[in-house]
Amino acid sequence: MHIVLDGQQLSSVRLDDWSDDFDFVLTDGSTPQDRAVFTALDGEDRTDTWLANAEEWDARTDPWDPDTDDDGLTDGQETHGVDTGVIKPTYTTDPTTPDTDGDGYWDGWIGVYDVGHTDNVVLYREHLQSGDGIEGVEIVEEQVGVHKASVVPSAGGADIDTDGVKEHSNVHIGERQWGSAPTDGNPPSLTFGVEADYVDELPENRLDNENWVTAIEENYALYGITLNIERDDTVVTLTDALASSNDENQHLYLLVSSERASGIGGNPWGFNADESIGTSLELPANGHIIYAESISESATEENAVPASDVTNSPYNSKTEVLAGSVEMHELGHSFDVGRLDDTGALPLGEVYSGSSSDQNSERHETSGATRWSIMRRGWDSNSLASHNGHSYYVFSIEELSTIDQP
């Protein structure tokens, strides 16, 4: 094949992908139809859209990579549009940039920066339901990392390594996931207020400090979500807390209590009323509670959190490190994070990532260590990821595949 660019013949270049089998997404199905149809990142059955090499050359896409810009949509889907149903619009987007309209949010549902050959991202939910979950070469290790927010379009971000430049998670939650248009220049509205009340009996004003809430805000900012956690009231008892709860009318409500209130099952460290049934606790409909004393006992007396994890984290104590994970988890429920695993309403329907009940198991492997993300049960040092010696918590692709506004 002779390729001519700007009136000059470059050379005789052989493109081996004439049949498009290198960058047309296929599964391991037993029939041609089974191989062509896959469960996409939005949970719908979809097929890739074939692009001839001539189209790829014209579009300046990579003929050996199904998703040149890593935004989670294949080049064919972006060029010819993604069928989103009868009453929803079908958008065509630029397959060479992850953010067609320049608003900082990528075009697809979930994209992963610098992932290389992108089949495993496009087919992530297909692999999850294969019977053995995500394993071996299907693991997308890049989802654990972060990148400088300036290297690609990135909404939000936080300077987690204190070098004066913001980072963003390698995982980008795109406009199709948030329900906004990837072509109109209007970003999704993802700023949420959280009122935080504290029971007065907590020793040393535990967790009632700006450093702890800022660390949580910055961790969510890595995913393009802006939280404004307002430390509001200090109340004497749990009853007083419930009487004054969410008097600031914020999107979400957090109560930091001492220990578990009566009539609540589930996790000994926290409880989300927003997503639960069968409780007598009168938290606001958008509220959750974490139990600071139970967390502190686990973090210190049981020595769950080593001192080195405090040193490398944005938190000031072992209790804050563990409580940061718990708060990330309980807030996650309000955003429907991790819903793909759950079998019903919380607390009984919750299925923790990596548990024996997890039917869609996904591992993260970094430097040989197996990690489980925020929506796991319990805690260990592998709950933390690290960038330039600074630690942060991560959500997985599976957990984020169900994320929605609270």
pLDDT category of residue 281 using cuts at 50, 70 and 90 = low
Distance CA 44, CA 49 (A): 15
pLDDT at 110 over 80: yes
Question: What is the C-alpha to C-alpha distance for residues 77 and 388, in angstroms, rounded to an integer?
Answer: 36
Cα separation, 131 vs 360, in Å, equals 8
- Domains annotated on the chain, with CATH: 2-178 (no CATH), 191-400 (3.40.390)
Strand 287-291 relative to strand 252-257, pairing? parallel
Please give the pLDDT value at position 322. 95
Tell me what pLDDT residue 15 has: 45
In this structure, what token pair is assigned to residue 401? 């595949």
308-313 mean pLDDT: 94
Which segment, 56-70, 149-163, 262-276, 296-310, is predicted with the most confidence on average?
Answer: 149-163
Q: Which two tokens stand for residue 169?
A: 């998670």
CA-wise closest residue to 403 among 373, 369, 365: 373
pLDDT higher than 70, residue 9 = no
Give the tokens for residue 396: 């997985």
- Predicted local confidence at residue 88, as pLDDT: 65
Q: Name the pTM for this structure.
A: 0.90
In angstroms, the CA 237 to CA 67 distance is 54
Rg (CA), the chain: 23
Residue 169's pLDDT band (boundaries 50, 70, 90)?
very high
Confidence (pLDDT) at 185: 96
What is the Cα–Cα distance from 233 to 230, expressed in whole angstroms? 9
Residue 131: is its pLDDT beyond 80? no
User: In angstroms, rounded to a whole number, what is the distance separating the alpha carbons of residues 395 and 402?
Assistant: 12
Residue 12 has pLDDT above 50, yes or no: no
Q: Is the dihedral of CA 83, 131, 374, 392 positive or negative?
A: negative
- CA-CA distance, 244 to 30, in Å (whole number)? 60
- Terminal C-alpha separation, the chain: 53
Q: Is the pLDDT of residue 1 over 50?
A: no
Res. 166: pLDDT tops 70? yes
Tell me, what DSSP letter sits at residue 362? Answer: B
- Write out pLDDT tens, residues 340-356: 999 988 888 888 888 88
- The β-bridge partners of 270 are 290
Write down the pLDDT at residue 133. Answer: 83
Query: Where do runs of H (alpha helix) occur along 97-244?
Result: 119-122, 124-128, 175-178, 210-221, 238-244
- Convert the pLDDT of each residue in 195-211 to its tens digit: 998 887 777 678 999 99
CA distance 286 to 275: 8
pLDDT at 111 > cutoff 90: yes
Contact between 241 and 224 under an 8 Å Cβ cutoff? The reply is: no
- CB of 378 within 8 A of CB of 294? no
Could you tell me the two tokens for 211? 């450093």
